[in-house]
Amino acid sequence: MADYDLIIRNGLVYDGSGGTPFTADVAVRDGLIAAVAEKLTGTAAQEIDAAGRAVTPGFVDVHTHYDGQATWDTHLRPSSSLGTTTVVMGNCGVGFAPCRTEDHDVLIQLMEGVEEIPGTAMNEGLPWNWQSFPEFLDAIAARPHDIDVAALFPHGPLRVFVMGERAVNREPATEQDIEQMKGLLAEGMAAGAVGFSTSRTLVHRSSTGDLVPTYKAATSELKALGEVLSGDSGHVMQFISDWEDVEDEFSILRETSERTGAKGTFTLLYLDNQPELWRQQLDLVEQAQRRGLDIRGQVLSRPVGMMMGYRASMHPFYRRPTFLGLADLPEAEQRRRLADPAVKEKILGEQNLDPHIFVRIFNDRFDKMYVLEDPIDYLPRPENSVAARAAAAGQDPAAWLYDYLLDNDGNNLIYIAAANLSEHIPELLGHPNTVVALGDGGAHVGSICDSSANIYVLTKWVKERGAFDLAKGIHLLTRQPAELYSMYDRGLIAPGLKADLNVIDFDALKLKTPHIVHDLPAGGKRFLQDAEGILATIVSGEVIFENGEATGRLPGRLIRGRQADPRAVA
């Protein structure tokens, strides 16, 4: 009988602490790391030779939206195929529980509008075998997955469940409403929710175009709900906001943390229209940390970028009447019709009918649109903008873009760096009170594929730019986010901890250009992205991906609440 289930031999171990790497064998037994030593003499049922390769903890992604996908899919791609072994979903106040039958459509419209998941896919894929939040967690736990999943309790469904149409109309919550919400939230926390999330941004809208039920919910309402959280249980309050009143917004996290010991986290980006906001936010975070309050900004390793094209969900012409009339044609026939000069002229002379807010904002900002070529460049140069390319060709930018998107059999894409296109990204990533996040796995499936932002930390900021060494980069993706959510059983390579691991050929590590697949329920489409150089991803000691291919193993489980460090327990 073998001594271990798995031994990874001869790898250069980056243990997640940020410390100096070391050459060692890593042995796994019963889903845990059993031994880490320079040379292990035992035998194993499976061995991986990692000579010349990096061995790291699995990545932990604390900002995803797999709330729908996790109910119908066992593989949480693209996160699981890109080295992530733990995800936190339920962010930004949107989700599917608690929910009464008569409110199914409302929550689908919220998720479709806010996180751009096709309503047709959700209508077909969601089993709705729950009503309460504990029942939702049980439904997630009952389905095997390739990676581990934790869930925040979202404010939107909670408000709709308690207030009904009044929530949809964004009416103020009464004292009775708030007490009922607090009771349901406490029930969800007891069942294993890792925290509470909300959205307070104008950008988040239902697919009906209406603002989300949580937009501008009273500060007092959020502070009252925050009282339910518990620092001892490792709870986190997460939100996204427009920060119209910086002090008032931050006070929600600060007072919740002061009263309960819970942690706080929020979306922190560089914004062109508020260029000093990120510094104000970091000042407030630093003040809170000095007072012993664990509040951290969530930062993205690259711009918040959308991909647009005829195969994607959106582009600058997608809601123009003539284009809408061609939208349901087979792709080849649609391309043939779009190539007709008369059709082109007609479309260019029209306006979009009720487009997504992203298109409304960027519809004719051709200097913010960049051609997307292989290898993909997430920090594009000005000469690659649509405006610059069109000027060089002596063409109107809209006409140039129309033809560009039609080339390459209609597969060409443009990239719009909507926010966070900044020289300050390394400073944001390296700040001691931020956490790498905002990949939005499972969301914006037809225009964004930012789950790869974890890998981008390594390819851009470690390998290409040298902003951090590899040990620091691995720490940012593993132990640091695990600690934010009190998942102390993972994110490090040490005996007794969970055997979530990656074997990476760092020299070969490279992101490929995203591509469209039609694998959602009802044939819905989404972007997936692959990477070269991730040789193996391991969850609880089982190899789930090998050289980019799924093995079919499904060791992932639902995480309920705080996870203690087994070494401390021992």
Map residue 147 onto helix, strand or coil: coil
CATH number for the domain that contains residue 44: 2.30.40.10
pLDDT band at 207 (very low <50, low <70, confident <90, very high): low
State the pTM of this model: 0.93
Where in the sequence is the domain holding 41, given as residue range(s)?
A: 4-56+494-552+563-569
Domain boundary among 416, 437, 452: 416
Shared domain for 260 and 162, answered yes or no, is yes
The answer to whether residue 236 is domain-embedded is yes
- Confidence at residue 166, expressed as pLDDT on a 0 to 100 scale: 87
The answer to whether residue 486 is domain-embedded is no
The arithmetic mean of pLDDT across residues 410-416, rounded, is 92
Shared domain for 16 and 107, answered yes or no, is no
The arithmetic mean of pLDDT across residues 430-435, rounded, is 97
Overall domain count for the chain: 3
Shared domain for 129 and 242, answered yes or no, is yes
Shared domain for 253 and 112, answered yes or no, is yes
The answer to whether residue 447 is domain-embedded is yes
Shared domain for 301 and 386, answered yes or no, is no
> Torsion angle of alpha carbons 70, 71, 75, 76, nearest 10°?
-20
Q: Which two tokens stand for residue 39?
A: 């040379």
Residue 558 has what DSSP assignment? B
The answer to whether residue 475 is domain-embedded is yes
Shared domain for 457 and 519, answered yes or no, is no
Shared domain for 476 and 539, answered yes or no, is no
Residue 130 has what DSSP assignment? -
Domain boundary among 416, 435, 462: 416
pLDDT digits (tens, 9 = 90+) for 463-487: 999 999 999 999 999 999 999 999 9
Helical H segments across 381-468, by residue range: 386-393, 397-406, 425-430, 453-456
Choice among 103-112, 288-297, 490-499 with the minimum mean pLDDT: 103-112
The answer to whether residue 335 is domain-embedded is yes
pLDDT digits (tens, 9 = 90+) for 505-530: 999 999 998 988 999 998 888 999 99
The answer to whether residue 485 is domain-embedded is no
- Confidence at residue 205, expressed as pLDDT on a 0 to 100 scale: 57
Shared domain for 275 and 249, answered yes or no, is yes
> What is the DSSP secondary-structure string of 448-490?
--GGGHHHHIIIIIIIIS-SS-HHHHHHHHTHHHHHHTTBTTS
Shared domain for 145 and 231, answered yes or no, is yes
Shared domain for 455 and 470, answered yes or no, is yes
CATH number for the domain that contains residue 462: 3.20.20.140
Shared domain for 537 and 505, answered yes or no, is yes
Type of residue at 561? G
The answer to whether residue 489 is domain-embedded is no
Q: Within 10 Å of residue 18's Cβ, how many Cβ atoms?
A: 17
Helix (H), strand (E), coil (C) string for 10-64: EEEECCCCCCCCEEEEEEEECCEEEEEECCCCCCEEEEEECCCCEEEECEEECCE
Is the per-residue pLDDT at 34 higher than 90? yes
Which of 379, 489, 476 is CA-nearest to residue 437?
Answer: 476
Domain boundary among 416, 442, 472: 416
On average, the pLDDT of the chain sits at 93
Shared domain for 412 and 431, answered yes or no, is no
The answer to whether residue 319 is domain-embedded is yes
